[in-house]
Amino acid sequence: MTPGAVQFARYAYPPNALGYCGPHDHIALFEYGTAGVVDGGLRHLARDFEGAWPYLQLIARSSGKDPLDRNVVEAYWIGNSLLDAVDMATLGNSMDERFRTRAGTSWDAVSDAVTAGAKPSHGFHVFCVYPWVGLMRTGLTDQPLQVLDRCRIRWGKVTEIEGDDAIVDSQPLVLEDDRLVLGPSRPERVVWAHDGHGLARNLEPGDLVTMHWGWVCDRVGATEVRTLAAGTAQALALANRDLARPRSGVFA
């Protein structure tokens, strides 16, 4: 069983390496994710993720666990029953404190997502808090769609291993009739390792995997895939509610 802190590193590394979130020491994060070592340094790195860490704290407080407990980390990135322990008022208060001022005229969309049953997962943050869905209303669809697809946690089946790359069959995010949906499965080339060292070890064709920003993060089972798919469907439903209504501004 992978420790929660290591699991966090595996999912957090890809956007961190691109400079999108978290501390600057992405090399250390990669080493923790590949070596599977847990110490105070890894916990310190995790706390510096200003986007993800408050969600982990929220889930942990509602379930009586540590923020880097494996089940808490899994709840945030993939989803599990711990998300149900966070009630609407608690999530709403957290969102109000963190995002009301920053969201400006887009705050109503975030608030409406919470009252519609949002869960404090990474998928919720990508589709309901980030500005990309709102930007699509301005006619800028290509870049927001690409970012949303790469930033969400995706899943698929490995069909080939080519050096440090893997070919994975997965469903892309597409815009169809002004709605965000998952399209037909197609091959996607992603990175699984650097010089043979991967976040998911000993990857083989046939493995089910999760992906984040062009990297394979972990090997998963069918249960985790179903949970992630269900959470993604819920987040997409909330995003499509937002797309279906007029909007006067975007998240700033």
CATH class of the domain at 153-221: mainly beta
Arithmetic mean of pLDDT, 25-40: 91
Indicate the pTM of the whole model.
0.93
> Strands, DSSP E only, in 116-220?
154-162, 165-170, 173-176, 179-182, 186-191, 193-194, 197-198, 208-212, 215-220
248: pLDDT strictly greater than 80: no
Binning the chain into helix, strand and coil, the percentages to the nearest 5 are 50, 15, 30
Which of 31-45, 62-76, 180-194, 210-224 is predicted least confidently? 31-45
Q: What is the residue type of 131?
A: P
Give the pair of three-digit tokens for residue 37.
Answer: 């070592």
How far is 250 from 252, CA to CA, in rounded Å? 6
CA distances from 122 to 76, 77, 142, 195, 207 (A): 6, 5, 22, 29, 23
pLDDT digits (tens, 9 = 90+) for 52-67: 999 999 999 999 999 9
**Where do the domains of the chain lie?**
153-221
Copy the structure tokens of residue 157: 């089946």
Rounded to an integer, the average pLDDT of 35-39 is 87
pLDDT classification of 9: cutoffs 50, 70, 90 = very high
Would strands 154-162 and 197-198 be described as parallel, antiparallel, or unpaired?
unpaired
- Two tokens at 198? 């991967």
**Burial degree of 242 (CB within 10 A; 0-12, 13-18, 19+):** buried
Q: Is the pLDDT of residue 100 over 90?
A: no
pLDDT at 247: 55
- When pLDDT is cut at 50, 70 and 90, the band that residue 140 belongs to is confident
